[in-house]
Amino acid sequence: MERMNIGVLGTGVVGRTLAQRLVELGHSVCLGSRSADSEAGQEWLATVGTARGASVGTFADAAAHGALLVNATSGGASIAALRLAGERNLRGKVLVDVANPLDFSTGALQLTVVNTDSLAEQIQRRLKEEGHGKARIEGDAHCDWVVIDIGDIIVHVFRPEVREFYNLEKMWSGERPTDPVTH
Ligand SMILES: NC(=O)c1ccc[n+]([C@@H]2O[C@H](COP(=O)([O-])OP(=O)(O)OC[C@H]3O[C@@H](n4cnc5c(N)ncnc54)[C@H](OP(=O)(O)O)[C@@H]3O)[C@@H](O)[C@H]2O)c1
């Protein structure tokens, strides 16, 4: 594999381990954190050295550096970390997401999405914050497939196997009508 610029977001054991291996494989890696001079980041850099182009920075620095990105932040904080990374630095890039949406704050292990707050509800809230009004959510009792209706845009949230089964892309792959007014 040819040398790539890779941004690893997250200075925990997972982020540092993945980032170290990626450096060993010859890639140019920037490890991102909330602060550019985080202790964990500096420790990692001291271990791997800068000779092979390794660096540390903020989440935004790592996201700007990488053509390929890895999200290895705490699952409950991943959205906050990705916001700090910045939409412009993320746009159009492949993000390998190894984070788990786990919440240990109550002492009992919970999922940060699904148990108390579904992905559809999070999208609905975000759309309202962005000024799109309150989007309608419809879904089946088992939540295999949820539809969020924003008017001009419809968002489908599927479980992976249901998404594969319904294969919406096939529907869109048909011939386009020649006359968009009458069809
Ligand atoms: N896929 C797998 O096989 C696998 C295996 C194990 C773990 N995991 C997942 O990998 C992820 C990383 O685990 P980990 O134990 O290495 O580290 P972690 O302690 O879960 O996360 C550390 C990272 O999260 C960031 N973070 C924490 N709170 C934040 C906040 N409020 N806002 C923004 N960023 C915040 C930290 O930023 P700072 O650098 O600024 O401190 C740090 O970079 C987790 O989601 C974990 O569940 C996956």
Share in percent of the chain as helix, strand, coil (round to 5): 35, 20, 40
42 Cβ below 6 A of ligand 1 = no
Q: What band does 183 get if pLDDT is binned at 50, 70 and 90?
A: very low
33 Cβ below 6 A of ligand 1 = yes
Nearest CA to ligand 1 atom 6: 14
Alpha carbons 153 and 135: distance in angstroms, whole number: 10
Nearest CA to ligand 1 atom 10: 99
Instruction: Give 92-125 pLDDT, tens digit per residue.
Output: 999 999 998 887 888 888 777 766 677 777 778 8
Phi, psi of 110 (to 5 degrees): -130, 160
Nearest CA to ligand 1 atom 47: 100
Q: Where in the chain is the domain with CATH 3.30.460.10?
A: 118-172
Task: Quote the pLDDT of residue 140.
Answer: 66
pLDDT at 180 over 70: no
Fold adopted by 5-103: Rossmann fold (3.40.50)
Instruction: Give the count of beta carbons closer than 10 Å to the beta carbon of residue 42.
Output: 15
96 Cβ below 6 A of ligand 1 = no
11 Cβ below 6 A of ligand 1 = yes
Q: Where in the chain is the domain with CATH 3.40.50.720?
A: 5-103
Residue 112 falls in which region: left (phi positive, over 0), alpha (psi -120 to 50) or beta:
alpha
Task: Quote the pLDDT of residue 67.
Answer: 97
Q: How far is CA 169 from the centre of its chain?
A: 22
Instruction: Give 123-174 pLDDT, tens digit per residue.
Output: 788 778 878 788 888 876 667 888 888 888 888 888 888 888 888 778 777 7
What CATH number was assigned to the domain covering residues 118-172?
A: 3.30.460.10
